[in-house]
Amino acid sequence: MNILHISAECYPVAKVGGLADVVGALPKYQNNTEDSSAVIMPFYNNKFTQTHSFSSIYNASINLGQTIYDYDVLTLNNNTLGFELFFVDIKELLFTDYVYSSDDTDRFLAFQVAVMDWVLTLKSKPNILHCHDHHTGLIPFMAQESFKYKTLNAIPVITTIHNAQYQGWFKFDKLNLIPEFNGNNIGLLDWGNTINPLAAAIKCAWRVTTVSPTYMEELQSRANGLESLLASESSKCIGILNGIDTEVWNTETDEFLIKNYNKKALASGRKANKEWLCDEFNLDFNKPLIAFIGRLVGEKGADLLPEAFNLALQKNDLSILVLGSGFQETEKELNKLKDKFIGHYNAYIGYNEKLSHIVYAGADFLLMPSRVEPCGLNQMYSLRYGTIPIVRRIGGLKDTVSDIGDEGFGICHNNVTVEEIVYSISRAITLFDDKKEFEKIRQKIMSIDHSWNASALEYKKLYHSINQ
Ligand code: ADP
C-alpha cells in the first residue's frame, strides 16, 4: 500500500511543534512494514532547504482564482530520512522563511491545489491520502467534490487532527480560489458562516483520527466550536496515540547531548547534562531542576507559570528553567522572575532544538500544566530520557502518565490552577529528596516503550479497513 502524507511541517525540515515530529517519524515506521510511505510538504526558505540539494521531478502551474502560479515538485537528493520526501515549490507564495503567518489561506490553498494537480498526473496513485491538520483540510473536500479531481475520489482520504483549536477559517469571498465544484454542496465548506477547512475535512474525510484516545473523547464536548460536528461524525473518528521517533530521541546516540547515557549509566549521564544546564543558566545543581518546554500560550497553561513559579520559588528549594516562546506578556512576566530568583530561576525565550534535548536529559522534572493537550510529545521524550513528568490530567497526558500515588511514575493534578501547579511542584521536591524512590522511578520510566510500532500498526489497520 502506498501512503502519501500531506503536511505543512515535517521534522527535520520545518518544525513548529509536534506535527513535525509525527510526520517526520510515522512514515519511517510505516516503511519498515510492507507499506510504502512518503511525505509532501511546502518548500520553505529555511536552514534545511539552504543546506540540502533537490531535484525537480514535475513542473506545472496552478490557477488560484485569476492568478496563475508556476510550481515545481522537488525531491530531496541523498535522502537518509527513511521515507521519500517531496516538496511543492511555489516561489511566489511558499518560499517563505516562516511556516505560519497571516497569509496562510492563500499559501496553503495553493499548496493543496498543487498537491492534488500533481497526484492527478501520477501513473501509480497513492492508495491513501493522509492529510494533517487544517492546512490540508480542503483536500478531502476537493477529492470528493471538485470536478477536476473526479478521478481521484476513489482514493481514501484520512485527516488527522493534531490540534482542533486551529481550523484555518477564511471568508467566503475567497471561495473562487477553490477549484470548481457542485455549488449545491457548498455547505460542506461552511461552519458558522465561514469556510472552515478543518470542519470540511471532518465532513469529507473517509476517516478522522486524532492523536490520543482521550483527546478524541474530549473533542466531542470541547473542540473550539466543532464539538457537535465531531459528535455527529463520531462513527468515523478514532483516537490513535502518537509515538515518538526512538532513533532521533535516543539517549545513547543523541548528538545534541553533553553526555550520552543509557539506563545503566543513567546517573552519571544525566548529571553531566544537568551540570551543563546549571552552569549555563546559573542554577543550583543540588536542588531539583524543574523545566518547562513549549509554546507560551494559554493551551499549555503558560499564563499561570509566572505566578506559580513566583510562589514555588519562595523557599529557594528548587531550580526552574523555562524554554519557550509565545505570548509577549507571558514572555515578559517569565523574564521578570530572572532578577528576583537569581541562582534558582532562568528562562530562554526562543526556540532551540539542541537545548530542548539537553533539558530532557538534564532536568529532574518536566512540567506540563496544559489546558488542552491533544497528545503531547514532551512527556514521552522526558520519560524516555529519564525526566519525571508533572502533568495535568488532560488529553494525551492522561493516556501516557499515571501518578506515583497510583503506583505510576509521574505527578498528576486535575485542574488548571496556580495552586495545583504549586502543589505538584512541592510533591516533586519531596520525591527528589527520597533518593531511592526517585532513582527507582527514573529507571522505570526509561523502560517505557513509546515508539511508533504499536501506533503505526493501528494506522495500518485503519488504512486496510477502508482500502479493500
Ligand atoms: P505542540 O505541537 O502543541 O506545540 P507537542 O508536545 O505535540 O506540542 O510538541 C512540541 C514539540 O516542540 C516537542 O518536540 C518540543 O520539544 C518542541 N518545542 C516546543 N517549544 C520548543 C522550544 N522553545 N525550543 C525547542 N523545542 C521546542
Query: Which atom of ligand 1 approaches the CA of 373 most closely?
Result: 3
Is the CB–ligand 1 distance for residue 165 below 6 Å?
no
Mean pLDDT of the chain: 97
Q: How far is the CA of 17 from the centre of ligand 1 (A)?
A: 5
Q: Is the pLDDT of residue 168 over 90?
A: yes
Is the CB–ligand 1 distance for residue 213 below 6 Å?
no
The residue nearest atom 22 of ligand 1, judged by CA position, is 351
Angle in degrees, CA 112, 117, 122, rounded to 5: 120
The residue assigned the cell 518544525 is: 15
DSSP type of residue 265: T
The CATH T-level fold of domain 2-245+452-466 is Rossmann fold (3.40.50)
Q: How far is the CA of 324 from the centre of ligand 1 (A)?
A: 8
Q: What is the pLDDT averaged over residues 92-117?
A: 97
Q: How many Å apart are CA 128 and CA 323, to the nearest integer? A: 37
Is the CB–ligand 1 distance for residue 211 below 6 Å?
no
Q: How far is the CA of 79 from the centre of ligand 1 (A)?
A: 25
Query: Which atom of ligand 1 approaches the CA of 379 most closely?
Result: 6
CATH 3.30.160.100 fits 266-445, yes or no: no
pLDDT tier for residue 467 given thresholds of 50, 70 and 90: confident
Asked if 363 contacts 321 with a C-beta cutoff of 8 angstroms, the reply is yes
Nearest to 463 by CA among 17, 27, 19: 27
Q: How many Å apart are CA 193 and CA 171, to the nearest integer? A: 8
Of 157-161, 315-319, 355-359, 431-435, give the lowest mean pLDDT range. 315-319
Q: What is the pTM of this model?
A: 0.92
Q: What is the pLDDT averaged over residues 299-313?
A: 98
Is the CB–ligand 1 distance for residue 356 below 6 Å?
yes
Is the CB–ligand 1 distance for residue 298 below 6 Å?
no
Residue 208: CA count within 13 A, CB half-sphere: 31
> Which residues, 6+ apart, have CB-to-CB distance to 145 below 8 Å?
181, 182, 185, 188, 204
**Confidence (pLDDT) at 341:** 97
Extended strands (E) in 179-307: 207-210, 237-239, 289-296
Asked if 372 contacts 363 with a C-beta cutoff of 8 angstroms, the reply is no
Is the CB–ligand 1 distance for residue 21 below 6 Å?
yes
Q: How far is the CA of 295 from the centre of ligand 1 (A)?
A: 7
Q: Is the pLDDT of residue 401 over 70?
A: yes
Q: Is the pLDDT of residue 311 over 70?
A: yes
- Percent of the chain with pLDDT strictly greater than 90: 99
Is the CB–ligand 1 distance for residue 166 below 6 Å?
no
CA 346, 350, 354, 360 dihedral sign is positive
137 φ/ψ angles, rounded to the nearest 5 degrees: -70, -15
Neighbour-count burial of 311, counting CB atoms closer than 10 A to its CB (0-12 exposed, 13-18 middle, 19+ buried): middle
Q: How many Å apart are CA 267 and CA 280, to the nearest integer? A: 20
Q: What is the pLDDT of residues 169-190, one digit of tens each?
A: 999 999 999 999 999 999 999 9
Q: What is the pLDDT averaged over residues 232-251?
A: 95
Neighbours of 224 (CB within 10 A): 13
Q: How many Å apart are CA 426 and CA 160, to the nearest integer? A: 37
Is the CB–ligand 1 distance for residue 212 below 6 Å?
no
The residue nearest atom 9 of ligand 1, judged by CA position, is 18
Q: Is the pLDDT of residue 164 over 90?
A: yes
pLDDT tier for residue 468 given thresholds of 50, 70 and 90: low
Q: Which of 7, 211, 295, 354, when mutated, tests ligand 1's pocket best, judged by the most ligand atoms within 8 Å of its CB?
A: 295
What residues does CATH 3.40.50.2000 cover in the chain?
A: 2-245+452-466, 266-445
Q: How many Å apart are CA 135 and CA 149, to the nearest integer? A: 19
Q: How far is the CA of 294 from the centre of ligand 1 (A)?
A: 5
Q: How many Å apart are CA 341 and CA 324, to the nearest integer? A: 19
